[in-house]
Amino acid sequence: AVHAACRYLDEGDLYRPTLDPLIRVRVEAYQKFKDRVGFKPNPKFTECPQHSHVYSVGTTPDREGQSNKWPAVIVEIKTGTFEDWWAIQTAIQDICLPTSPHGKRFRMAVELRDDGEPAVHEFRERSDYSVALGAISTYHWKLNHGLVKPKGG
């Protein structure tokens, strides 16, 4: 419900009085984040599945866009507490999105806390891409050796 409300906010079609108070406070945190960094999501890639034919992997980024500071940025919206693997998730998203004319995208997660404040987690380690590709390769190796079942299979 939080993701849907944030999408309506991005589209300018959110009617706040109808929101549950627990959702409203998280949407307010997202609005604060957007205002503070000047984030403008690209609706073409908002929660739109992406696929890399080169690496045979797919993902669905929450947001891709630009901000006052970064010409190309991936924003993952989270309502739980910080997890290290979010860095790998955003690296995979960057791999799957069409190439940006600005090069690799800046990657971050914004944790929408229930106190109405956003907690921004920036992912700057270039090695996240190597880890992501290693995880993808390991999955395909296991799949090819019958150690995991294909998704949906």
Q: Is 119 buried (19+), middle (13-18) or exposed (0-12) by CB count in 10 A?
A: middle
Instruction: Give the model confidence (pLDDT) of 68-90 as tens digits.
Output: 999 999 999 999 999 999 999 99
CB 86 within 8 A of CB 76: yes
Q: What is the DSSP string of 64-99?
A: EEE-SS-SSEEEEEESS---TTHHHHHHHHHHHSPP
Q: Are 84 and 76 in contact (CB under 8 A)?
A: no
pLDDT digits (tens, 9 = 90+) for 115-132: 999 999 999 999 999 999
Amino acid 151: pLDDT: 78
The pTM assigned to this predicted structure is: 0.92
Separation between Cα atoms, residue 88 and residue 153, nearest integer Å: 25
Q: What is the pLDDT of residue 19?
A: 96
